[in-house]
């Protein structure tokens, strides 16, 4: 749950930063979606620990 909230927050910051830099909205949206995909907990997420051996 916390990982999902962090992913949403970071995606919003990335979107805002891209639009503030003057990039097209479509580029900002794609960047935000990529951040969400990387940060989504079931696909690894932030702070995900793999199986330790």
What span, in angstroms and rounded, lies between the C-alpha atoms of 37 and 16? 17
* Spatial separation of the C-alpha atoms in residues 20 and 13, rounded to whole Å: 10
The per-residue pLDDT for range 23-43, each reduced to its tens digit, is 999 999 999 999 888 877 665
Residue 4 or residue 52, greater confidence: 4
Q: pTM above 0.85?
A: no
Residues 18/28, Cβ–Cβ less than 8 Å:
yes
Q: Which residue has the higher pLDDT, 7 or 46?
A: 7
Residues 6+ apart with CB under 8 A from 40: 3, 4, 7
pLDDT of 12 reads: 94
């Amino acid at each position: 749950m916390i990982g999902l909230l962090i992913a949403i927050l970071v995606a919003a910051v990335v979107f805002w930063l891209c639009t503030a830099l003057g990039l097209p909205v479509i580029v900002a949206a794609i960047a935000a979606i990529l951040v969400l995909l990387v940060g989504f907990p079931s696909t690894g997420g932030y702070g995900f620990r793999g199986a330790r051996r």
